[in-house]
Amino acid sequence: EIQFSTLTLKKQNLLICPVASIKILTGENKPIQAFVIPHSHMDVGWVYTIQESMHAYGANVYTSVTEELSKAGDRRFIAVEQEFFRLWWDTVATDSHRRQVRQLVKEGRFEFIIGGQVMHDEAVTDLDDEILQMTEGHGFLYETFGVRPQFSWHVDPFGASATTPVLFALAGFNAHLISRIDYDLKETMQKNKKLQFVWRGSPSLKAQQEIFTHTMDQFSYCTPSYLPFSNSSGFYWNGVALFPDPPKDGVYPNMSLPVTKDTVDAYAHTMVENIKQRAAWFRTNHVLWPWGCDKQFYNSSVQFNNMDPLMKYINQNSKELGVTVQYSTLSEYFQAIYKSNLTWDARGSEDFLPYSTEPYQAWTGFYASRNVLKGVARQASSQLHAAETLFTRYRISFPDGPVAKDWALGKLRALRWAVSEVQHHDGITGTESPKVADMYLQHLTQAMMGVEELLSVILLLTSGVYEAMEQHVIVYNPLAWNITNIINLTVTLANAAVFDDEGQPVPAQIQRSAHSNGTYDLFIMVELGGLQHRKYLIKFSETSCSGSAKCSWTYEAKRVLFERRSSRYRTRTGRRLLPVLNECYKLMFDQDTNLLHSITYLPEKTTVRMTQDFWEYHANGDVEAGPISDNYIFSASSSAVQAYKAVEMEIIPGKIVSEIRQYFYRWEGDKDYAYSITTRVPECFGTKVQCHRLEQTYSLGPLRLNTEVILRTSSSLKNNRTLYTDDNGYQMMKRPYRNFTSNTFARNYFPMVRAAYIEDDLSRLVLVSDRAHGVSSQANGQVEVMLHRRLWNNLPWNLGYNLTLNDSSVVRPTLWMMLGSVGATSKLYQREATELQHRPVCLLINLWQKEPRSSSVHSVVLPPNLHLLSFSIPGWNYSSNHDVHLSVDLHSEPDYGRVLLRIMHLFEEGEDPELSKPVTIDFKDVLKGIGEVKAMEERSLTGTWDVSSLQRWKWKTADNSETNKAFNVTISPKEIRTFFIHFSSKNL
| Structure confidence by residue, pLDDT tens digits, 583-623 | 999 999 999 999 999 999 999 999 999 999 999 999 999 99
Is the distance from CB of 765 to CB of 758 less than 8 angstroms?
yes
Average pLDDT over residues 337-347: 96
Is the distance from CB of 277 to CB of 224 less than 8 angstroms?
no
Question: Which residues 6+ apart lie within 8 Å of 974 measured at CB?
Answer: 202, 204, 205, 730, 731, 904, 905, 907, 908, 909
Alpha-carbon span 74 to 357, nearest angstrom:
36
Least confident of 8-22, 551-565, 802-816: 8-22
From 350, 352, 349, 419, select the one nearest 383 (Cα to Cα): 419
pLDDT of residue 232: 85
Does position 8 have pLDDT exceeding 80, yes or no? no
pLDDT of residue 964: 35
pLDDT of residue 720: 97
- Looking at 156, 294, 630, 727, which residue is catalytic? 156
pLDDT of residue 781: 98
Counting runs of H as helices and runs of E as strands, what totals does the chain give? Answer: 21, 46
Does position 37 have pLDDT exceeding 50, yes or no? yes
pLDDT of residue 986: 66
Alpha-carbon span 264 to 314, nearest angstrom:
9
pLDDT of residue 965: 34
Alpha-carbon span 291 to 224, nearest angstrom:
9
Percent of the chain at pLDDT above 70?
92
Average pLDDT over residues 620-634: 95
**pLDDT interval class at 467 (50, 70, 90):** low
Which H or E run includes 291? strand 286-291
Q: Which 3-state string (H, E, C) describes 2-43?
A: HHHHHHHHHHHCCCCCCCCCCCCCCHHHCCEEEEEEEECECC
Question: Which residues 6+ apart lie within 8 Å of 117 measured at CB?
Answer: 44, 81, 82, 83, 86, 133, 134, 136, 137, 417, 420, 421, 423
Q: Is 977 exposed, middle or buried (0-12, 13-18, 19+ CB in 10 A)?
A: buried
Does position 670 have pLDDT exceeding 80, yes or no? yes
Strand locations in 187-244 (E): 196-199, 211-215
| Structure confidence by residue, pLDDT tens digits, 786-811 | 999 999 999 999 999 999 999 999 99
**pLDDT interval class at 22 (50, 70, 90):** very low
pLDDT of residue 468: 59
Alpha-carbon span 525 to 689, nearest angstrom:
8
Is-catalytic flag, 912?
no
pLDDT of residue 3: 33
From 444, 439, 18, 496, select the one nearest 218 (Cα to Cα): 18
Single-letter code of the amino acid located at 635: S
pLDDT of residue 68: 98
Alpha-carbon span 178 to 159, nearest angstrom:
9
Strand 707-715 relative to strand 750-752, pairing: unpaired
Alpha-carbon span 354 to 750, nearest angstrom:
6
Report the chain's mean pLDDT, rounded to a whole number. 91
Alpha-carbon span 594 to 600, nearest angstrom:
18
**pLDDT interval class at 688 (50, 70, 90):** low
Average pLDDT over residues 133-154: 97
pLDDT of residue 969: 82
**pLDDT interval class at 38 (50, 70, 90):** very high
Give, as one character, the DSSP assignment of residue 56: I
Question: Which residues 6+ apart lie within 8 Å of 127 measured at CB?
Answer: 163, 167, 728, 729, 730, 869
| Structure confidence by residue, pLDDT tens digits, 833-859 | 999 999 999 998 765 444 444 446 789
| Structure confidence by residue, pLDDT tens digits, 360-371 | 999 999 999 999
C-alpha torsion sign, points 296, 299, 302, 304: positive
Does position 12 have pLDDT exceeding 80, yes or no? no
pLDDT of residue 519: 93
From 159, 118, 282, 302, select the one nearest 214 (Cα to Cα): 282
Percent of the chain at pLDDT above 90?
83
Please indicate whether residue 651 or residue 464 has the higher confidence score (pLDDT). Answer: 651
Average pLDDT over residues 253-265: 95
pLDDT of residue 570: 72
DSSP class per residue in 133-180: HHHHHHHHHHHHH-----B--B-SSSSB-SHHHHHHHHTT-SEEEE--
Is the distance from CB of 514 to CB of 526 less than 8 angstroms?
no
Q: For residue 608, what are the β-bridge partners?
A: 599
Question: Which residues 6+ apart lie within 8 Å of 576 measured at CB?
Answer: 590, 591, 592
| Structure confidence by residue, pLDDT tens digits, 405-420 | 999 999 999 999 999 9
Does position 57 have pLDDT exceeding 60, yes or no? yes
Least confident of 217-221, 513-517, 826-830, 918-922: 513-517
| Structure confidence by residue, pLDDT tens digits, 945-986 | 999 999 999 998 876 443 333 335 899 999 999 999 999 876
Alpha-carbon span 22 to 860, nearest angstrom:
65
pLDDT of residue 231: 87
Which whole-number Å values give the CA distances from 196 to 172, 223, 955, in the listed order?
19, 20, 12
Map out the domains of the chain with their CATH numbers.
32-114+149-355 (3.20.110.10), 367-461+857-983 (2.60.40.1360), 470-541 (2.60.40.1180), 560-837 (2.70.98.30)
HSE at residue 927, side-chain half, CA atoms within 13 A, is: 24
pLDDT of residue 551: 53
Whole-structure pTM value:
0.94
Question: Which residues 6+ apart lie within 8 Å of 313 measured at CB?
Answer: 264, 265, 268
Q: Is 113 exposed, middle or buried (0-12, 13-18, 19+ CB in 10 A)?
A: buried
| Structure confidence by residue, pLDDT tens digits, 752-790 | 999 999 999 999 999 999 999 999 999 999 999 999 999
